[in-house]
Amino acid sequence: MAVRNIRTLGEEVLRGVAKEVTEITPRIRELIEDMFDTMYEANGVGLAAPQVGIRKRIVVVDVTGEDPVVLINPVILQADGEQTGYEGCLSVPGKTGIVTRANHVIVEAYDTDMKKFRIEAEELMARALQHEIDHLDGVMYVDKVKEGELYNNEDLKDE
């Protein structure tokens, strides 16, 4: 469909709480397609609607490039274990930070037919889900980076 502009840190839309989706309209379907196009074009693994300027509780994720997932009104039901690693964000270009998140999550959401489903994930998929769901509440990964552990991507090329 179309690649949309990705909003960057400092833009108000990234810090608000997104609104629940109550019905799937043609505009919502178009938004979801555009979100996938935008995410893939930017070489991302996840994207939340606020990142393209829309305060709706919609997330798209594809950590393999072959398994696209749409989550509407997602809620984390369970989070356990721990993983610490580098994390970046399409809305914070050129930066990477070390963030600790749950290693395992169970998320409940709706699909594009507004049918409720659950997804259980570990490692990278669990990290991506938590990162994107945070966006829906105005939380960005830089808020969770340990002090002094936000890096310019150029600084990490030798690691």
pLDDT of residue 144: 94
* Chain segment 76-101, per-residue pLDDT in tens: 999 999 999 999 999 999 999 999 99
- Nearest Cα residue to 144 out of 133, 154, 153, 155: 133
pLDDT of residue 106: 98
pLDDT of residue 71: 98
- Nearest Cα residue to 107 out of 67, 143, 59, 68: 59
What is the topology classification, in CATH, of domain 12-156? Peptide Deformylase (3.90.45)
Average pLDDT, the chain: 94
pLDDT of residue 154: 66
pLDDT of residue 146: 78
pLDDT of residue 149: 75
Q: 44 is written with which tokens? A: 């991302």
pLDDT of residue 65: 93
- Nearest Cα residue to 86 out of 135, 20, 152: 152
The full length of the chain comes to: 159
Residues carrying an active site annotation = 132
pLDDT of residue 48: 98
For the full predicted model, state whether its pTM sits above 0.75.
yes
d(CA 124, CA 18): 24
Q: Which residues of the chain have pLDDT under 50?
A: 159
Ordered by start, the domain boundaries in the chain are: 12-156
